[in-house]
Chains A and B, each alone.
Chain A
Amino acid sequence: MVDMSVSIGKLTLQNPVMPGSGTFAEGMAKVIDLNRLGAIVTKTITSDLREGNTPPRVAELRNSTLFSIGIPSKGPEHYLEELVPFYRNYTPPLVASISANTVEEFGELAARLSVPGVAAIEANISCPNLKKDGQAFGMDPQATEAVIKAMKRNTDLQVWAKLSPNVGSIAVIARAAEQGGADALVSSNAILAMAIDIESHQPKVANLMGGITGSATKPILLRMAYQAAQAVSIPVIGCGGIATAEDAIEYLLAGCTAVQVGTANFISTSAMPRVIDDLQAYCVRRGITRIRDLIGAMKVHEAKLLEARAGL
């Protein structure tokens, strides 16, 4: 029997597998048993109602996709009246993802969503900061820290910071989020990318740029999750190109406490249950009794001087 549970602060998850924000919705309950998941993370909402970006919003790339959805949002009222009651029918902790135009709005929305049935709030800080010329909060350590602080002041729930990979040093942003009081980091959101149709000469998504997601992005985002985990002492939840248990194990070994499965949910609704089953099978095969023993268990190659080899 393998102990599959992991802990994010005082929150214990029955297993380390949850959906990435924006890759999961109520419809999944018609296909899989949601009670098998470690947690449920919902699509980002904002205080205001938003329609999202102009279509086309998706292009297919090699082993990846380019998504430019924007943040279509039905607002907090819909979230509290429809989604929270819906997910209360299921046992996994509910994580609400939020975004906002200003630091203050992040705080206000966190307060609004602090209701029974919500276990944690994930800050999607990959969105533009309207008070800083639209630069994303997550690209700026001061803004990152300010957002998390504002949320922590306004809620007793856990606050997770979902980092943007579109930065020079993710360690700097990771430390800023920790400094702000984040209970965990999610590393990370999608990598900014673009694609052009050579027949129409138009960008493949109407917004010109979007986020590349899917299997092809895993080596880059695994590296960033590792760097984030190295930089902080709070738990890091790995996210980026995870489709199989093997992918998830890499993230755990790199220092992640849990993982989010994203685009793989679009390709196969059984991706998350399969990752959970196969993680367990891996542990059994390797004689691992507690999955948390895999967290950060990567063994680095010993640095051997070339000269020292002469003596071998």
Chain B
Amino acid sequence: MTNSVPIPLQPAPSTAASSCGGHCADFTIAENLCQVLSNEWVNAEYKHLVLKAPPIALAVLPGQFFHLNCPPSGNDVPYLRRPMSLYRVSPQDCTIEFLYKVQGAGTRGLATLEPGATLDAFGPVGQGFTLPPQARHVLVLARGVGLATMAPLAQHAVQRGARVTAILSARSPALVMSEQYLRSVGADVIVVHDQDGSSDIAHIEKLVRERHAQLPFDLLTTCGSNRFLLALQRLGQELDVPAQVALEQLMGCALGMCFACVRPFRKSPGSETMSYRRVCWDGPVFDAQETVTW
């Protein structure tokens, strides 16, 4: 990780919108009042939210997230914000996008947003993915909504001249999301699913080894599941390639203040010494060899 540099998607905005008495340049996080442009179902479970966003939000880096002030709906009155990883940013169009599964009080509220509504998106926050300099080949392994977290990394790695192999896993081919989007940004997409057994972890590992033999990976990335984390830990050690994982956790503040979202980590790869780290502030992207299953 020491040879790595954070990934700039674009230069940080030079000034903030609010008056701030000369401290503007310091303000890199904001409660961004965004306008909903669209919020459509992409399948029976997932919606795709597109927001018109102010400059601070557009400086978001791959793997960073926003803490959304989800509106109430029905009997749901979300009190805390909800963390949501970025699916896509378009600085030219001034938009940020999210892909989310409607499953709890927060996302049920998000699902009610109509075009023209305002959504307060706090961020961008968190430590995102770290791409090794001159990376030539990046693996992106994702399942279900995890794809949203990985899409900006895939897009950026391609822009930086790397080949991206994206393995997308789902219950059925019909539930594979954004295969087209990832192809359009230039990733090599391999779809695996449960119906034909191709999503079996041994098969996925075999695919990774084959691709590595053709062009060695410089970085392995995944998010979400224990199964994929364990696979990347094994592959990372076997192939001697750095591996990073994006985690999710219930959060209080998303700004490193409340210490509610901690998870246990090894002090260093292989170390038996454990300590808690904040997913919101120290992550949500971590070295996979320091991350432990849960």
Select from chain A the residue with minimum beta-carbon distance to B254. Answer: A266
How many interface residues does chain A have, given as a range? 35 or more
Q: Which of B27, B77, B250, B258 makes the CB contact (< 8 A) with A30?
A: B27
Given the known interface contacts A28-B255, A265-B257, the answer about A33 and B28 at a Cβ–Cβ threshold of 8 Å is no
**Interface residue? B181 (CB, 8 A):** no
Given the known interface contacts A25-B255, A27-B257, A58-B258, the answer about A269 and B78 at a Cβ–Cβ threshold of 8 Å is no
Report the stretch among A61-69, A117-125, A151-159, A169-177 that lies at the interface.
A61-69
Report the stretch among B18-26, B182-190, B191-199, B217-225 that lies at the interface.
B18-26
Contact between A57 and B80, CB atoms less than 8 A apart: no
Contact between B31 and A266, CB atoms less than 8 A apart: no
Contact between A60 and B255, CB atoms less than 8 A apart: no
**Interface residue? B54 (CB, 8 A):** no
Q: Is the interface of B mostly helix, strand, loop or mixed?
A: loop
- Chain A residues near B78: list those with CB within 8 A: 60
The complex places the Cα of A58 from the Cα of B252 at a distance, in Å, of: 7
Q: Which of A31, A32, A57, A60 makes the CB contact (< 8 A) with B262?
A: A57
Q: Which of A35, A55, A266, A270 makes the CB contact (< 8 A) with B253?
A: A266
Chain A, range 18-64, C-beta contacts under 8 Å to B: 22-33, 35, 43, 51-52, 55-58, 60-64
**Interface residue? A308 (CB, 8 A):** no
CB distance from B124 to the nearest CB of A (A): 10
26 A-B contacts, Cβ less than 8 Å apart? Answer: A22-B258, A27-B29, A30-B26, A31-B255, A33-B23, A51-B276, A56-B250, A58-B80, A60-B80, A62-B77, A63-B77, A64-B79, A65-B79, A65-B252, A69-B259, A72-B259, A215-B79, A266-B80, A266-B252, A266-B253, A266-B257, A267-B69, A267-B80, A267-B81, A268-B69, A269-B29
Give the 3 A-B CB pairs with smallest separation, nearest first.
A58-B260, A266-B253, A27-B255
- Given A33-B23, A266-B258, A269-B29, 6 additional A-B pairs, CB 8 A: A26-B256, A32-B27, A55-B260, A55-B276, A58-B251, A67-B252
